[in-house]
Amino acid sequence: MLQERGINPKIIEYLNVPPTVLEIKTVLKKLGIGARDLLRKGEDDYKELGLANADLEESSLIEAMVERPRLIERPVVVCGDKAVLGRPPENVLALLDQ
């Protein structure tokens, strides 16, 4: 979809090179959401680590994503100082049209 618009995205294979705590915090700020909203709640790791516990602090959730990047909802599309979750794809189009 991006390439159809003449955009060559930089793709980060985060399963091979997991993001740092700072990178996740930066993306969360650009997304305008909390760490819990970036978690894939259907992952086995989510259940195994007890991440549904509402008492867990933001830092614990971020650390879990660093240690087990499969927990990160994807795709995340970043454009400048803003970002969106790419599901549904219309989110990406809305970001590009800003």
**Strands of the chain, DSSP E:** 76-79, 82-85
Amino acid letter, residue 71:
L
Q: CATH second-level architecture of 3-96?
A: 3-Layer(aba) Sandwich (3.40)
pLDDT of residue 5: 84
- Burial code (b: 16+ CB inside 10 Å, e: under 16) for 25-49 equals eebbebbeeebeebbeeebebbeeb
Structural contact between residues 37 and 85, judged by C-beta atoms closer than 8 angstroms: no
* pLDDT tens per residue, range 45-90: 999 999 999 999 999 999 999 999 999 999 999 999 999 999 898 9
Q: Do 32 and 76 meet the contact criterion of CB atoms below 8 Å apart? A: no
